[in-house]
Amino acid sequence: MHFTIPKEKLAWLLQTASRPIPARSTLPSLKGCLIEALSDRVIFSGTNLDWGVKVSSEADVLSSGSLVVSSKILEDIVRTISLPEVTLSLDESAWALTVKAGNSEIVLNAVPAEDFPKWPEPPGKESISLKDKIFKELVRVGSTCAVTNPARPLWGACLIDLLGDRIVLVSTDQFALSQAQIRANVPKARAIVPANVLQDISRLKDVDDGDEISLELAGGYLYLSGKNFSSFSRLIEGQYYAYDQVIPKSCASSAKVTTSEIAGAASRAAIVASEEDRAMRIILDKTNQTVTVKAASPEKGKMEEVLPASVTGEDVEIWVQHKYVIQALSRISDEEVSLGMTGQVSPMVIEPVRKETPSQDSVLSTFVIMPMSPKGAF
């Protein structure tokens, strides 16, 4: 194996393929990255057995071959190189990888490619194609409420719900819920997937907005692939929360308010709110057509901000944790949002206000925030 590749491209391949690689493992092949050189391109793969990432790029390949090498050591070396190109070559007699750039030459221990774990392959029967831009938006919105909690694995997961006429992506920590959906003709299926896997794939830098992402659920795995990458993830077993029962079908009162104004008020409420409960109070006033945001704490002080709004229904107020409001609003790019409420003990719904009828390619977002017990008269 012998090939030359731009340093920046090599760094990207290593950084991306090494995402799943565990920091500690008793298996040398799991701690390493599989490098394969073909006729005109190279492929880098990394896995922890539960999920894996494979990325490829064009390269000047003089001879083909494959090996497994420590991704961390090779990545650290590449980071120190200032020259634009790097050459990698394999001495199979000693299983040593030579890294050469200018006058620098480093030899690293390697492992035969045959020791690398077997890569599961999708059956290719019922794959779904999405534009990369749509996939990224589904993940950006749908995974908003996923949090890492070893005691509650579903909190760090997303539900992919294929409902025949639409794709729904949901995450929740049972205090707040985020839902993203798009209209599409798809086979009916559902699967629970680690949120970090979806987030990592959606952040790939070498994927253009015009590219297509293929998604397939089969054999206990989620398979994702694009022009320069492929990935698999083992599905999480278990029953996901009945999310559709959490989202209110309608709200007794609602207010349309400028997104930037309510986001700014929520951020200021977070500054003076109590560190203990992080509570903020939101009041809809139909008579005055306003939304009032309040927060207070004995150790910091208090704030109150009155915003112009279009309010329908009855006067209502609710106490919620400010972080969930800020989190939801950060995912909405529309000029206005709708705040839906029914009472102090019912969830609050935040949705963007669309100026036009959503197109087939529009991702619809819904955020649900559970109420807190009233915290007094601040």
Number of compact structural domains in the chain: 3
Element housing 326 (H / E)? helix 322-330
Same domain, 255 and 305: yes
Question: What is the token pair recorded at 245?
Answer: 């029962």
Same domain, 72 and 105: yes
Residues 102 and 210 in one domain: no
pLDDT classification of 203: cutoffs 50, 70, 90: confident
For 26-73, the DSSP string reads S-HHHHEEEEEE-SSEEEEEEE-SSEEEEEEEE-EEEE-EEEEEEHHH
120 located within any domain? no
> With bands split at pLDDT 50, 70 and 90, how would you rate the model's confidence at 355?
low
What is the pLDDT at residue 207? 53
Domain that holds residue 46: 2-115
Q: What is the mean pLDDT of residues 18-42?
A: 88
∠ CA 13-139-79, rounded to 5°: 20
What tokens appear for 252 in the block?
């007794």
| Residue 76: Cβ-neighbour burial (10 angstroms; 0-12, 13-18, 19+) | exposed
pLDDT of residue 188: 94
326 within domain boundaries: yes
Residue 209's pLDDT is what? 52
Per-residue pLDDT averaged across 358-374, rounded? 86
φ, ψ dihedrals at 187, nearest 5°? -70, 150
Q: Are 224 and 215 in contact (CB under 8 A)?
A: yes
Q: Given pLDDT bands bounded at 50, 70 and 90, which one contains residue 49?
A: very high
Is residue 123 in some structural domain? no
Burial of 63 (0-12, 13-18, 19+ CB in 10 A): exposed
| 221 and 299 belong to one structural domain | no
Neighbours of 126 (CB within 10 A): 14
23-37, 188-202, 306-320: range with lowest mean pLDDT: 23-37
pLDDT at 134 over 90: yes
Confidence of residue 361 (pLDDT cuts 50, 70, 90): confident
Q: What is the DSSP string of 79-146?
A: HH--SSEEEEEEETTTTEEEEEETTEEEEEEEE-GGGSPPPP----SS-EEEEHHHHHHHHHHHTTT-
CATH of residue 262's domain is 3.10.150.10
Instruction: Read off the pLDDT of each residue in 286-315 and give the average, rounded to a whole number.
Output: 96
As a whole-number percent, the residues of the chain with pLDDT over 70 amount to: 96
User: Tens of pLDDT along 58-113?
Assistant: 999 999 999 999 999 999 999 999 999 999 999 888 899 999 999 999 999 999 99
Q: What is the band of 208 on the pLDDT scale with cuts at 50, 70, 90? A: low
Contact between 45 and 22 under an 8 Å Cβ cutoff? The reply is: no
- Is residue 261 assigned to a domain? yes
Q: Does 181 lie in the same domain as 133?
A: yes
The residue among 278, 256, 275 whose CA lies nearest residue 336 is: 256
Least confident range of 26-40, 53-67, 107-121: 26-40
Q: Are residues 164 and 276 in the same domain?
A: no
Res 22: pLDDT? 87
Average the pLDDT over 339-345 and give the result.
94
How far from each other are the two terminal CA atoms of the chain, in whole angstroms?
70
CB 117 within 8 A of CB 87: no
* 105 and 12 in a common domain: yes
Mapped onto helix, strand or coil, the DSSP state of residue 246 is helix
Amino acid 138: pLDDT: 96
Give the chain's mean pLDDT: 92
pTM: 0.90
* Final residue before a domain boundary, out of 115, 143, 161: 115
Judged on CB neighbours under 10 Å (0-12, 13-18, 19+), 71 is buried
Largest CA distance in the chain: 84
